[in-house]
Amino acid sequence: MTNKKRIIVLIVGLILLVMITFLALGLHGRNQGHKTSRSQTKVTTSSLPKGVKSTDWDLVLINKQHPENQEISFTQAQVGDKVVNQKIQQSVIDFMAGAKAAGYETTLVSGYRSIEYQKEVFANVLANNENNGESEEKALAETKKVVQTPGSSEHQTGLAIDLAGNDALAKYPGLTGEMDQFASQRWLIDHAPEYGFILRYPKDEASIKETGIDYESWHFRYVGVKNAQYITKHHLTLEAYLKALKAREAS
């Protein structure tokens, strides 16, 4: 083969190599685009659980934007020395039993709290912040980050619980996000949806902005198994989930 022919073959080979490379990159880019699209369309009105309505009893929303200043009437039931809505009594018992079977003893720190009791909780945390040297304004702001104002706490529904692994609670009796350092607390967080609960206040910034409450590794809210699994799988807050349900209902 002459040098001229060798050069022509080399040039053609390089051209083919470049074309193949661009083709491969193009396919990869399209595949990546499809992946992104699937990720972005996971939470659509058509993908939401069938038969669920934003007005269902287990999806009642109470927060700072949707306060309830009157005591809520429901049938109360005991779990140990704590009170919960009777509709979730067995779910709480099963949740704690599941943790025990996995090797973790737990304590139900709190269940139902009346508006009057919430006033006491809020006042105590506020006073503690002020006693720690914070200004009145800062103490109030810091308190609102971790305690719902009276009338804005979902504990008054009887559907929310504060549940902690005994070892985590022993180290952090005041309840802090750092309790998730313990395997017991991580088990509760990971397995909550199996019993119809969600971790109500996740730690990512978007969730904190939506809920208005800082990360709480101990606060679980009953929403039903179907809802809990969907909310957790799609990394939603209850607020975001209800917004999606209402959008479906309006369409």
Contact (CB, 8 A) for 152 and 62: yes
Cα–Cα separations (whole angstroms), residue 243 to 22, 44, 70: 42, 11, 24
Tokens of 48: 């939401």
Residues with active-site annotation: 216
Contact (CB, 8 A) for 119 and 113: no
Which region holds residue 75: left if phi is over 0, alpha if psi is between -120 and 50, else beta? beta
The alpha carbon of residue 185 and the mean position of all alpha carbons in its chain are separated, in whole angstroms, by: 14
DSSP H or E run through 227: helix 225-233
Please count the residues of the chain: 251
How far the first Cα of the chain sits from its last, in Å, is 71
Tokens of 170: 């022993």
Cα–Cα dist 79/174, whole Å: 21
For tokens 């399209």, what's the residue? 30
